[in-house]
Amino acid sequence: MACGSKELVMVFLVLAMATTLSLGQFGFPPIPGLPHTPSGAPHSPPGAPTAPIIPFLKPPKGTRIGYYSQSCPRVESVVKATIKKHVDKDKTIAPGLLRLVFHDCFVNGCDASILLEGPDTEKKAGINALLRGYEVIDDVKAEVEKVCPGVVSCADILALAARDSTVEAGAMTYAVPTGRKDGRVSKASDCSNLPSYMDSVDVLKKKFSDKGLDTQDLVTLSGGHTVGSVTCQVITYRLYNYTASGGADPSIDPVFLKTLRALCPFNGDGWRHIPLDYGSEFKFDHSFFTNVKQARGVLESDQRLWEDSSTQDIVQQYIGARGMHGFALNVQFGRAMYKMTNIGLKTEEEGEIRKVCTKIN
């Protein structure tokens, strides 16, 4: 049965309100606020995007939903269309962009400093060596510049692109406050404290807490690994050299260990890609959490989420995420992304609107 867009948005908001009131039934912490503009937050002006505000959180100072409604009203439709074009050609772009914005925001805030080129920029840091999607952001920026030259920041484009890429993979949409400014500084040496796949849960919780993110956000954002892959070189230590005697990580399911060793043989092709969510590589769904519970987490840090008591309950809440559970997973993911993409935003004095994303003006 076909419905108009306004009716669809209204239905979504009603469901969102019901979810806000009932998430406690599933063990999730309540989401603050109701699906209306939070007290003190600016109302969306006429012409603002109609994406539902899943997180119901107040936008940071200097940003708002529909920031470009007057200066560049087509920006979100241009970003969405360009991202769709790229993901339709290459599904691996979606997880690539998600990881790109994560690495940007965790180093000196969400200021698109990861995009700057130079001999000692963040892009050159070893931990960022396998990041991809730069050319997609460049293409989006070029398309936006055609309709609104010098108006939209690369930091906003990166946040919108991450949202739209996950939606293309099957996630629920969420509203993105805009008005970010682009940073002028990018140093490889600042990337040393990025979360690592070898970190313990306690270390990860500390790194997330330092950015204003809680344990729920840690588990939920780790669920972004439901899309994407990792190279064999990243996981071979778990398969062949984890223990002092040269054995495998004992937390890996024995049957799955055989599968991983077949895909990543000893001294084999270290650049071969292995799905992070085995069996559901390109679909945003709950199966990542099921795999983690079944000792089929590909990354050590992912598997530890089930073994640590502080995160196991949250993983359990997402397992079998169908119906209201599935809706809750999407709501929490939108909420966590909303929070993460607003870390450490630059002020007017601290940032700029780059003409091209790879260099400062």
List of residues 6+ apart from 176 with CB closer than 8 A? 51, 65, 156, 159, 160, 163, 338, 341
225 is in an annotated binding site: yes
Q: Please pick, among 36, 43, 86, 103, the residue that the annotation labels catalytic.
A: 103
How crowded is residue 150: how many other Cβ atoms within 10 Å of its Cβ?
A: 11
76 is in an annotated binding site: no
Q: Are 131 and 116 in contact (CB under 8 A)?
A: no
Residue 274 pairs with which residues in a beta bridge?
230
164 is in an annotated binding site: no
285 is in an annotated binding site: yes
195 is in an annotated binding site: yes
Q: What DSSP designation does 186 have?
A: -
226 is in an annotated binding site: yes
Distance CA 102, CA 154 (A): 15
111 is in an annotated binding site: yes
Q: What DSSP designation does 142 have?
A: H
Helix (H, G, I), strand (E, B) or coil at 361: coil
92 is in an annotated binding site: no
Active site residue 103: yes
Helix (H, G, I), strand (E, B) or coil at 216: helix
301 is in an annotated binding site: no
135 is in an annotated binding site: no
Tokens standing for 229? 């892959």
Phi/psi at 356 (5° precision): -130, 150
109 is in an annotated binding site: yes
Distance CA 192, CA 166 (A): 27
Q: Which amino acid is at 65?
A: I
Can you say which residues are annotated as belonging to the binding site? 104, 107, 109, 111, 113, 122, 195, 225-226, 277, 285
Positions marked catalytic: 103
Residues belonging to the binding site for substrate are 195
- Residues making up the binding site for Ca(2+): 104, 107, 109, 111, 113, 122, 226, 277, 285
